[in-house]
Amino acid sequence: MAGVGLIALAAPVAASAATATVVVGGGDMKAGIMLTANYPAVTTIHQGDKVRFVFAGFHTVTFLGKGAKLPSLVTLLGPVPAANDAAGQPFWWAGRRGVGLDPRGLIPSGGTAVRRGRTVNTGFPHTPKPVTLSFPETGTFVFRCVQHPLMRGVIRVVPKEAAITPLNAQMGAGMARQRADIVAAKKKVARATAMLARKGATVDVGYGDRTFDAESMLPRTVTVGAGTTVTFRFPDAQETHTVTFGPDALIDGFVKAFEAAGPGVSAPPEVLYASDAPGAMPVVYTGTNHGNGFLNSGIAGAAPAPSPKTWRVTFTTPGSYTYVCIIHGRMMSGTIVVTA
């Protein structure tokens, strides 16, 4: 019996699975900074461990199987119905295709175990809630974001006996890099804003690169004389935006309708498409366009209704005109002040 006891004591004790944490995104919402990176960017775990993905923004964690393509964020729907503006005139885009969220990117699929050659997609978690995935196989597993295709992270899974950096140390280094990325992004935005202020009649609608998006109008306020043409540029590397003028109630209604768009439900065509038929620019804005001051660039930089990378508007009437990005709501707004 004593020998049996010694054998039992000598037998190795199986290590329980550990859980690492990856923060997906982050940023400083007060400053309009949204990070499009993962923290840590590379996480090393043992075979059989799990990873808890904490979502800090509108992102997915999507592992692609062999030959699979990143799911689309949006999909084409049926034609939009005819509609008139506040002055009773028909909008030009009647019969064009509507756009809604694509369920392939929106809804979770593939289960919660990540294996080689298999697609696993968290979808866009509600709230958003953390999602935990398991990794039963060794290998290097790359994940991306449906909303931000340049956003990339890596999970390295090594054999159980391999030495790795402690998970809490990996996480600490990742969060340190997140803080540094926020500081760097703010500096980039400050430099861009100062440069644009010197131009005087140019607005960058959003700004960013592979690591962040600034969901802001740079600069927020531009003052010009009547008859001046303002150039709105759309330089954001991964986000889409609109420039939309109009009464508060109209704008707020569009924001709510855009948020309600989903599988089978189109975003408002007044948001998708430019308010004025494509043609010669600049567009002239008097403050009474379409009967109520509505003027819209359309969604810039995103199929199937992309606007040009620049949109030019001539302001003819003195006044103060607020505009909003319908996609990001009131947090992303600006003002054009027109003097006599």
What global pTM score does this model have? 0.88
Last residue of a domain, one of 179, 214, 236: 179
pLDDT attached to residue 8: 38
Give the tens place of pLDDT for each residue, 82-109.
Answer: 999 999 999 999 999 998 888 989 999 9
Give the tens place of pLDDT for each residue, 187-204.
Answer: 999 999 999 988 889 999
Q: 305 vs 321, which has greater pLDDT?
A: 321
Instruction: Give a yes or no: residue 78 inside a domain.
Output: no
pLDDT attached to residue 15: 59
Considering 12-21, 85-94, 276-285, the range whose residues carry the highest mean pLDDT is 85-94
pLDDT attached to residue 250: 96
**Do 172 and 206 sit in the same domain of this protein?**
no
Last residue of a domain, one of 115, 147, 179: 179
Q: Which residue has the tokens 């008097």?
A: 286
**Do 158 and 278 sit in the same domain of this protein?**
no
pLDDT attached to residue 61: 97
Contact yes or no for 24/175 (Cβ under 8 A): no
Which stretches of the chain are DSSP H helices? 2-10, 103-106, 167-199, 248-260, 269-272
SS3 category, 291: helix
Torsion of CA 304, 305, 310, 311, to 10 degrees: 180
In Å, what is the CA distance from 130 to each residue of 23, 38, 252? 9, 14, 30
Nearest to 240 by CA among 150, 329, 325: 325
Residues spanned by the domain of 148 = 14-73+102-179
**Do 29 and 162 sit in the same domain of this protein?**
yes
